[in-house]
Amino acid sequence: MPNRYKTASFSALKARLFTTAGLFCAGIFTASLPAQGAEQPLQAAIAASEQQVIAWRRHFHQHPELSNREFETAKTVAAELRKLKLDKVETGIAHTGVVGTLVGGKPGPVIALRADMDALPVAEQTGLPFASTAKGEYNGAEVPVMHACGHDAHVAMLLGAAKVLAEQRAQLAGTVKFVFQPAEEGPPGDEAGGAALMIDEGLLRGKDAPEAILGLHVWPNDAGEITYRAGGFMAAADNLAITVTGRQTHGSSPWLGVDPIYTAAQIATALQGLPGRHLDITRGPVVVTIGSIHGGVRGNIIPDTVTLAGTLRTFDMAVRDDLHEKLRQTVASIAAANGASVEVTITEAAPVTVNDPALLRRMMPTLARAAGAERVQEGPAITGAEDFGYFEQHIPGLFLHLGVGDPDVPRSERPANHSPFFDIEESALITGVRTLVGFAMDYPASAPQ
């Protein structure tokens, strides 16, 4: 079994940083680099934070909490931020969110660094010594809870960045807001939450509103790699709910009623034809998935109703609108042809995550120093979704994937995010801290003249 708890040699990483600091993709804007005298204490502070970051990650992993229920996580985060003597630590934002504010020793812009805090209703099967045995309530039932998407690592890395930047406050130009966001996986029931609620409550308003934001997400790529994509990186997601209503009758005489199961089956099949036959797929990928169908109680009773639930993924707003319209038309037509009635509800779960191209060009030298130029790769569009896109609807943002997969395990065999076996190579955490710190330190100095 590979060693999941090994840490990278900082001297080796530092050597690679300085040998690759001047290597950038053709055409990329080159920001001025920090003077070597200022860079060395900064890198030493990052290195010194590594074991604490790992310890934080293991603590949060062992004590996960579901969306909008991150009570103990938020208490721990706020307590750690207060130890760092930040200028402000705000709690209770969007239910359980925490925002710490650090004012640097030099004048400069306000920027934000974001980490999500919530876990998933998944039964952990990693066998880690700090595996979760936590329970929570989801849809009215008790469920196991696990950090199966790596948010434990996100919180730990952002705390690490806060620690380093607080120690280097005198060298920091401007203000950094450390945003610990709840409910990225979606608030429960009819509750509001996540990035949208933080914005509604004023996170991006006022005199200290950030002008740019960075988020990292761990991914099963090779540990320490950074993956980016200009423009649309992760898909918009919409939740789909369809209720088909027929007329109950005995299963031996279906002509005496209206069969919603037969109708629902036609709907589920027909929706798969929308992307390939009714939408311009050259404008962006489209995914239509029905993940849940419920109806009936006995094999010889045709029920009154059937419910279908699914998800829609798109990368283009016009295509998204077309999909919604054609889906409603298709469902209504099939229901009418079978004598059934239907209700369709589409609710937005997340917009497209769009990396600002100019900001990406501006920060490429930072990414090259954080991971090594050869480990910064352009990636494909991802049909997974992230509510980080709500921030990017208001200010320029970058959302990056940080590889945490064991390079000795074939990529196809690494557990994906949301798997009960999902784990990370902890050696990658320091690369994440270096990226977050680098963004905060380099953004002011890299402004186009």
Compute the distance between CA of residue 393 and CA of residue 59 in angstroms, rounded to an integer.
33
Tell me which residues of the chain have a pLDDT lower than 50. 1-33, 35-36
**Are 329 and 219 within one domain?**
no
**Are 104 and 204 within one domain?**
yes
Give a yes or no: residue 344 inside a domain: no
| Opening angle at CA 139, ends 135 and 145, nearest 5 | 25
Here the tokens at position 323 are 């999909």
Give a yes or no: residue 347 inside a domain: no
Total-model pTM: 0.88
**Are 365 and 333 within one domain?**
no
Q: 40: domain CATH number?
A: 3.40.630.10
Here the tokens at position 77 are 């985060």
Here the tokens at position 204 are 């991006």
Give a yes or no: residue 426 inside a domain: yes
The catalytic site residues sit at 118, 184
Distance of CA 396 to the CA centre of its chain: 17
Largest CA distance in the chain: 85
Model pLDDT, residue 8: 38
For residue 157, the cross-strand partners are none
Distance of CA 404 to the CA centre of its chain: 15
Phi/psi region, residue 359 (left: phi>0; alpha: psi -120 to 50; beta: rest), is: alpha
CB 106 within 8 A of CB 172: yes
Last residue of a domain, one of 310, 339, 368: 339
Residue written as token pair 């910064």: 376
Domains in the chain: how many in total? Answer: 2
CB 42 within 8 A of CB 442: no
pLDDT digits (tens, 9 = 90+) for 93-121: 999 999 999 999 999 999 999 999 999 99
For residue 177, the cross-strand partners are 101, 112
Model pLDDT, residue 25: 40
Last residue of a domain, one of 292, 307, 339: 339
Model pLDDT, residue 7: 35
Which burial class, exposed, middle or buried, applies to 288 when counting CB atoms under 10 A from its CB (0-12, 13-18, 19+)? Answer: buried
Give a yes or no: residue 304 inside a domain: yes
Could you give the 3-state DSSP secondary structure of residue 249?
strand
Question: Among candidates 360, 352, 444, which has minimal Cα distance to 398?
Answer: 360
Residue written as token pair 């401007």: 174
**Are 69 and 162 within one domain?**
yes
Name 118's Cβ contacts closer than 8 Å, sequence gap at least 6: 65, 66, 67, 68, 69, 70, 151, 182, 183, 184, 185
Model pLDDT, residue 9: 35
Tell me how long the chain is: 449
Give a yes or no: residue 285 inside a domain: yes
Q: Where in the sequence is the domain holding 409, given as residue range(s)?
A: 10-234+352-445
**Are 281 and 132 within one domain?**
no
Model pLDDT, residue 37: 56
**Are 179 and 281 within one domain?**
no
Residue written as token pair 């010594």: 129
Helix axes 429-445, 151-167, angle to 10 degrees: 50
Cβ-based neighbour number of residue 126 at 10 Å: 18
